Structure 1
Amino acid sequence: MERRVAERLRGVLDPFGFEVHAFKVGWYNAVVQPAFHLPYPDDTLAFVVLSTPSMFEKALKPFVNKERLKIIRDPVDQCVSYHLSRLKEKFPDQTVDIMFDYELLPNRKPKFLAQTAAHVSGAAYYYQRKDVKLDPWGEKKVFGVCIHPRYGGWFAIRGLLLFPDIQDSRYRDIIEVKEKYSEEQKAYFATPPAERLKLLGLTQEVHRSIFH
C-alpha cells in the first residue's frame, strides 16, 4: 500500500519538480517535543514534500502565468498549495490531510518542524550542533541545516501529506505466509532511515566528515 501511494504521488508531483519521502508519524513524534507532536497514531503513513531546483521552471512559472490575476500573497506558497491540494482528487477513497510549511498554530509556532520531518524520512540529513565534534561557536546560538544527498542546500521543504486511513502492517498477513521478517528486521525497518546505520553497527561519520 505504501509503495502504491508513493508511486501515485510521484507520478503527479515529479513532473513539477517536487519530491516525496515516506515516514511514520511515530518516527517524527519520537524525536520532537510534545508541543510539536503530530496528532495521529504512530503507525500513520506520512510523506514530506520537497521542492527541487527544477520546481521554479516546471511549476512556479507556469502557475504564475496561468493564475497571475489570482495571486494575492506569496506566489510560491500559492503554487505549492495548488499542486498539493490537487492530490486529493487522486485519492478519492482515502483521507489526505495536508500541512504546509508556512502554516502556524494559534501560539504562532509552526505546525510541524520541517527539517526534522525531512530527516526522519531520509529525504535529507539534518545536521545539528551536536554533530560537530569541535564546536567553534562558544555561547553563540547556532541553527541546524538540512543537506540533500543530490541537491545539497538547494531545495526547500514545502509540506506534509498524511494518510490517516493507512496505518499498520497487518495487510502483510492477508494470506498464510511461508516466512516473515525476523524481529530484528522488523525493528530495522520500523526505525527512521537516518538512524538505521546504528542498528547495523555503522556510524554517520561519512556524512558528518564534510563539516569537520
Structure 2
Amino acid sequence: MDYLTQDILRNISSILTPVGFETHPFLVGWYNEQVKDVFKLGYQNDTLAILIISTPSMYEKALKPFICRDQCTGIKDPIDECVAHHFEEVKKNFPDLEIECIHDFEMTPMRRPKILVQTAGHVAGAAYYYQKKDIDNPPWPEKQKICGVSIHPKYGGWFALRGVFILKNVHYQALERKSPIDIITDNQKKILLLERFNFHWKDWSFRDIIQSEQKYSEEQKLYFETPPAERWQLLGIERK
C-alpha cells in the first residue's frame, strides 16, 4: 500500500509541477488537531490530503496558456478558473480515487472557509504560518487582531496557497511528517513581517521579508493589483 500511495503522490506531482504548482502531502489528523471544531475535516485522521501551492511561474506556465486555449469562460476570476481546471485534470487522471477538491476561496453555508489553507500549509511543511502567538512581547494591543501570514522558504511571500485535495479512500499512517522551515528566526523581523502584512500589504513589501529565488513578473503583479472586475479586460477576455 505504501508503494502505491507514493506512486499516487508522484503522479499527481508530475501533472501539476510542469504548470507551476507544488504539492505537499499531509494527513487530515495533523490539520484537525490544529483547528477549532467548526473547521475540522470530516474524515479519519489517517486520510491522505495534499496541499496545492502556486509558485511564481504558474502565471506563465498555467494561466496564460489556459487563456490562449480559450478555456476561460469569464464567469469567475481567471486564475480561479485556471486552478479549478487543473484540479479537475488531476481528478480525471485518477478515476479510481475519490478526490474532494477544496479551493482556498470556498465557503460553507455558515460563511466560514471550508479549509484554512495557511494552517494546512504549515502542517504539510510547505510554508511557515507566522502568527501573533509566535512573537515574544508583541507590540500591539492585546485585543488588536493581527492576521498571520505564510512564508515559503524558497519564494518568501511570492506564492499562493490554492487549495487541498482530500483522497477520501486513501489512508496512509506511514506518511513522514515534515515541519515547516522557520526561516525568520529573529523576533523583530517577525514583527516587521506582520506589520507589513497587516498594515502595508498593498506595497508588496511583506513578500520580500526574505530573499526569494523567484518573484512574480511585472505583468503578474499588475494582474493582482488590478481590481478583480477588471482582470478579464487586462487579459483580453470577454466576460460572459
TM-score category of the 2 structures, normalised to the smaller one = 0.7 to 0.9
Q: Is residue 158 from structure 1 mapped to residue 143 from structure 2 by the alignment? A: no
How far has the Cα of 1:94 moved from its partner? 1.3
1:167 aligns with 2:152: no
Is this contact kept in 1: 2:51–2:164, CA < 8 A? yes
2:25–2:50 CA contact under 8 A, matched in 1: yes
Is 1:141 aligned to residue 145 of structure 2?
yes
- Percent identical pairs in the alignment equals 44
CA distance in 2, matches of 1:126, 1:85: 28
Separation in structure 1 between the aligned mates of residue 17 and residue 72 of structure 2, nearest angstrom = 26
d(CA) in 2 for partners of 1:60 and 1:124? 23
Q: Which deviates the most, 132-141 or 3-12?
A: 132-141
Q: Number of residue pairs matched?
A: 185
Deviation at 1:165, TM superposition (A): 1.1
Q: CA offsets per residue over residues 150-188 of structure 1, 9 Å max, x none?
A: 00011001111111111144xxxxxxxxxxxxxxxx8xx
Letter of the 2:185 counterpart: R
The TM-score, its normalising length taken from structure 1, stands at 0.81
TM-score norm. by structure 2 comes to 0.72
Distance 2:21 2:72 in 1: 24
Residues 131 and 208, structure 1, Cα contact 8 Å, conserved in 2: no
* Structure 1 residue 2: Cα displacement: 3.2
Work out which of the residue numbers 156, 179, 183 in structure 2 matches 1:194: 179
Which residue of structure 2 lines up, in the alignment, with residue 103 of structure 1?
106
The range that moved more, 115-124 or 136-145, is 136-145
Aligned CA RMSD, in angstroms, stands at: 2.0
2:79 is the alignment partner of 1:76: yes
Superimposed CA distance per residue, residues 115-139 of structure 1 (whole angstroms, 9 cap, x where no aligned partner) = 0000000000001111111311124
- Structure 1 alignment gaps of length 5 or more: 170-185, 198-203
Cα pair distance change 1:24/1:69, threshold 3 Å: closer
The farther-off stretch of 130-139 and 148-157 is 130-139
Deviation, 1:6, is: 1.5
